[in-house]
Amino acid sequence: MVELNSEYHSLANTVFMQMQEGIIVLDEQLKIVKLNLWAQEVIGYKEQLLTGKDYSILFCNLTDYQRIIAHLFEHHRWTGEVAKKRFNGEVYIEFMNIRTIFDSTGKIKEYAVVFRDMTKQKNYENERQLAAKVLENISEGVIVTDKDGNILSVNPAFELVTGYVEEEVYGHNPRIFQSGIHGPQFYHEMWNSVLTKGKWQGEIWNKKKNGDVYPEWLTISSIKDDKGEITNFVAVFSDITDRKHTEEKLRQLAHYDSLTGVANRYTLNTHLESLIDTASKYNQQLAVLFLDLDRFKHINDTLGHNYGDQLLKEVSFRLKGLIKNKDLIARLGGDEFVIVLSNIKHPKEAVNVAEDIIQTLSTSSFILKHHEVYVSTSIGISLFPLDGHSLETLLRNADKAMYKAKSSGRNHYQLYHEEMHHDESKQMKMEVGLRKALEQKEFFLVYQPQIHLKTGKIIGIEALIRWKREGQEIISPEQFIPLAEETGLIIPISEWVIKQACEDAQQLHLLGHSNLSVSINISALHFNQENFVKSVEAILQQTNINPHLLDFELTESMIMPNASQTISKLVKLKKLGIKLSIDDFGTGYSSLSYLNRFPLDRLKIDKSFIENLNKYHDDSSIVEAIISIAHRLNLSVVAEGVENKKQLLFLKTENCDHIQGFYITKPLPLAELIRFLAEWEEDLLNWLC
């Protein structure tokens, strides 16, 4: 009998110590007598540290302990959740069951406490509630299915997008949403990816309850248990109809002129490059016709830009009817058009087209609402390979021929020929002077302040180059920059501008304008040099300027043609700390599609839009759209060319970030700029408003 009791006691002790719940034994004085291993692991105490200690030591709140013990003395038991603390001081929630143990005489022998750590359950419940709240509020639709693909639940966004309520789809397979656009192979590959890789993501067309077919961006993921078995599938999707429409609009903006619908400069460059390659490969000829409408400015000034725009549309329509499908018509901007005739057999074909264009435009009037107008055109023609082997050369020579036709009396065409170079003696003299200008220190910089519209603070300045030859008037950049680009002199000139602007900025910083940034216009030819970034690094080291206060202004035509190389170069500049802006936005490709691709900081709205803000509603709408889209892409906006109060107020209302222009001040030499900065007060902007 003694042996049996011993075995029973040993078994009971083993069970006590191995139970997967915490057990604490208290004596009749509520002193701790014993703990099993699970209890020790949960609370972090070893048994010897607690033996003989009052049970209250484990409670966070003495009031809780007293309340529980009072209930225990009256009812001999208590069950519930209570806050406890571990050996390391961590507080946790415990589900506790405490019972009174009596001996054979009915006297209290001890108390048994059985408990569970509720931390995981509480965390799970909190996470579940949080997940439910997230699903309830996110804009993406969510579908949860079982392992067989039967729908278990959907979120409110699903109901908004599809038109179905949860009760209508519960238990159904998501194939009820199929549009019929995708074939079996599409779905086979999709589910193969989900089952083998655990995930599929892509664009898919599905059908709403009302039968409408729409595109969505869908992500399907498999959910697995601890054994790696699939238990559920989760699909998260969003309706991308608006995005598809936007992409189409952006594609149109990227490749076609928004006013006339013909190709834009970007498409012209790309297409002409391809045609030149083909012509070279197969020994073909092609012609480039450069068109400029005669006295178009007079029509614009007399009737207004709206009528001018309507005329450009009508001209484009007539031109389209004169060229073949293999040929290309593009608008470069303003009233300039280019037509490319591919695989011509004889130059006479280009001449015939030019004559047809002149006759079509000049012999029949254009009706613009209630106004009847006549317009003629001057056309320059260059031929490949006779007049050049590159698109730049062909376009330039066709342009020169067009100016020759215009100077010969308009409404005429002119073939390019070498003798036209002799008409450039004036440019030759300017080129000679340009080559000596750096050496003779004839260049200088002026600066135009940029104002933060909300604070009224001057946050930056734009550096602008000027050329002053001894005994002559100041030569504007519009006169010498194109020549500098053409001759390659723009590279040393640009390096001088960057270095001088950095040195001047350092001087301003030392005078107390430590946060003033300086914007510098970057030449396309300079930017495209292989060592451009290295030359910039060298200037930064020489001048010791903080690169975060430099802002390089680039044009759309610089960065679009060779996007991959451009991105690499821009990323290197960003790593140096230099900010990047797009200058004259809206006058080049007018493409928003690249804004996310390139690491840009700001857009500068071209001054032509600002100039016409109070004249034409379309320009106002364009400015509003540019500001809105830029802000959504986290780009700040600078409006240049602000010349009056109305323009300033409009830009302020539309939440434009920064402005510059003659309404604030003309570009100033450094000494005058220093005085201007000293006199400027933030309240002056409110006064100007």
Separation of alpha carbons 523 and 300, rounded Å: 31
**Other C-beta atoms lying within 10 Å of the C-beta of residue 513:** 17
pLDDT at 4: 41
pLDDT at 640: 92
277 in helix, strand or coil? helix
pLDDT at 552: 95
Write out the E strands in 259-355. Answer: 285-293, 328-333, 336-344
pLDDT per position as a tens digit, 216-265: 999 999 988 888 889 999 999 988 888 888 777 777 667 888 889 899 99
- Over the chain (689 residues), the average pLDDT of each successive run of 10 is 45 56 92 91 90 93 93 93 91 92 89 88 68 69 90 88 90 91 92 92 92 91 88 90 76 79 90 92 94 85 85 93 90 92 93 94 86 89 92 92 83 82 63 86 95 93 92 85 84 95 94 94 89 94 94 82 78 94 69 72 87 73 87 91 91 92 94 94 78
pTM, 2 dp: 0.44
pLDDT at 591: 57
Separation of alpha carbons 560 and 537, rounded Å: 24
pLDDT per position as a tens digit, 139-192: 788 889 999 989 998 888 888 889 999 899 999 999 999 989 999 999 999 999
* Among candidate residues 261, 286, 251, the one with its CA nearest the CA of residue 271: 286
Q: What type of residue sits at position 456? A: G
Alpha helices for 511-616 (secondary structure H): 524-527, 532-543, 556-559, 563-576, 607-611
Give every strand in the sheet of 199-207, ordered side by side.
151-154, 141-146, 230-239, 213-224, 199-207
pLDDT at 674: 95
pLDDT at 480: 87
